[in-house]
C-alpha cells in the first residue's frame, strides 16, 4: 500500500511538472535569440551550389547564411546538400525564396531553413499567406512531409517550429512602402527588410536624396511602431541607427575583397602608381 501511494505521488508530481516543461521551448534558431537580446545579426550571401563555399561562409563568423534563391539558379536539391554539408556550422540557414508560394515555403522549410526571406512584398495579405503556409497548425497549414529538417534540428522540431521560425518581409517598391505599416503589423512577421538597391531602382532616387531617405524613414518608422525588427544592407551597420538584421556581402564580393587584401599584404605597392608611398616614411614604390 505504501509503495502504491508513493507511486501515485510521483505520477501527480510529474503531471504537475509537464506544463512548466512545455513552456520552456528549446531554441535552436540562434538568430532569433540574438535579436531578442538586442544584438545585431549579419548574414553572408550565397548564390552558388558548391557545398565547400557554403561551409566556408557558414564557418567564417556570420550569424546566418542568406541563401539566394530569388536571383540565382539554385534549386532545392542544391540547397539541401549545402545545408546538410555544414549542419553543425554556427551560421544558421535562411533562404530568400523565389516567391511566397505554398510550394516554395514547404520545400524551403523541409530542407532545413530556419528563416524565410520573402521578396517583393507589396501587401499585408502576401505576408499573411506566407506565415500561414510556414507554420504548423493551429497557427498555419504547413504539412508534415518528408525532409531533412528533423535530422538537422531534433526530434522535437514539430513542437518547437512555430517558435523558432523567422519570417522577414522585403519592401522594395513604392507600393510596398505605402503598405509598410500593415506589412509589419502581420502576426508572425518578425522583421521588415529595407531593400536599398531595389528601392532606388523603383523610386529613381539615390541614397542621400531627400525623397529616397523619406521612403527609408517611413519603412523604418512603421516597422518600429509595430515592434518589429528592421533590416538592411550590411553597409548600413555603422551608417544608420536602429537596424539589427543585415544582409552581408556575396561570395563573389568576398573573394574580390579577400584577394585584394592578400595581394596588398604580400606587395604593398601592387595597386599603387610608381613613386607613391604605401606608408608614410617608407620607400616609394618603384
Q: Closest by alpha carbon to 194, among 239, 253, 254, 236?
A: 236
Bridge pairing between strands 115-118 and 64-68: unpaired
Which residue numbers are catalytic? 71
Interhelix angle 51-58/251-266, rounded to 10 degrees, is: 70
Cis check for the bond before 138: say yes or no (omega within 30 of 0).
yes
Contact 177, 171 (CB under 8 A): yes
Provide the terminal-to-terminal Cα distance of the chain, rounded to the nearest Å: 98
Q: Beta-carbon neighbour count of residue 171 at 10 Å? A: 30
Q: Which residue has the cell 544584438?
A: 39
Per-residue H/E/C for 7-61: HHHHHHHHHHHHHHHHHCCCCCCHHHHHHHCCCCEEEEEECCCCHHHHHHHHCCC
Per-residue H/E/C for 151-208: HHHCCCHHHHHHHHCEEEEEECCHHHHHCHHHHHCCCCCCEEEECHHHHHHHHCCCCC
Task: Read off the DSSP letter of residue 72.
Answer: S
Q: Closest by alpha carbon to 240, among 217, 263, 262, 222?
A: 217
Amino acid at each position: 500500500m505504501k509503495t502504491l501511494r508513493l507511486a501515485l505521488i510521483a505520477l501527480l508530481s510529474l503531471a504537475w511538472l509537464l506544463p512548466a516543461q512545455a513552456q520552456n521551448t528549446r531554441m535552436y534558431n540562434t538568430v532569433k535569440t540574438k535579436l531578442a537580446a538586442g544584438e545585431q545579426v549579419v548574414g553572408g550571401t550565397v548564390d552558388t551550389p558548391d557545398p565547400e563555399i557554403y561551409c566556408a561562409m557558414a564557418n567564417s563568423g556570420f550569424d546566418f547564411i542568406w541563401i539566394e534563391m530569388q536571383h540565382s539558379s539554385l534549386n532545392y536539391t542544391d540547397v539541401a546538400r549545402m545545408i546538410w554539408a555544414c549542419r553543425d556550422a554556427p551560421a544558421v540557414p535562411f533562404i530568400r525564396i523565389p516567391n511566397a508560394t505554398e510550394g516554395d515555403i514547404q520545400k524551403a522549410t523541409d530542407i532545413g531553413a530556419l528563416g524565410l526571406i520573402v521578396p517583393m512584398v507589396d501587401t499585408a495579405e502576401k505576408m499573411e499567406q506566407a506565415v500561414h503556409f510556414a507554420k504548423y497548425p493551429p497557427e498555419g497549414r504547413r504539412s508534415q512531409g518528408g525532409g531533412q529538417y528533423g535530422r538537422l534540428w531534433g526530434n522535437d522540431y514539430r513542437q518547437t517550429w512555430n517558435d523558432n521560425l523567422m519570417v522577414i518581409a522585403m519592401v522594395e517598391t513604392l507600393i510596398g512602402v505605402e503598405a509598410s505599416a500593415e506589412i509589419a503589423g502581420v502576426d508572425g512577421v518578425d522583421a521588415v527588410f529595407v531593400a536599398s538597391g531595389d528601392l532606388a531602382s523603383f523610386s529613381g532616387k539615390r541614397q542621400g536624396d531627400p525623397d529616397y531617405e523619406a521612403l527609408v524613414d517611413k519603412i523604418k518608422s512603421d516597422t518600429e511602431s509595430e515592434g518589429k525588427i528592421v533590416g538592411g544592407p550590411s553597409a548600413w551597420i555603422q551608417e544608420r541607427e536602429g537596424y539589427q538584421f543585415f544582409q552581408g556581402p556575396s561570395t563573389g564580393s568576398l573573394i574580390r575583397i579577400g584577394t585584394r587584401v592578400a595581394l596588398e599584404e604580400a606587395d604593398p605597392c601592387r595597386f599603387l602608381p610608381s613613386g607613391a608611398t604605401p606608408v608614410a616614411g617608407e620607400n616609394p614604390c618603384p
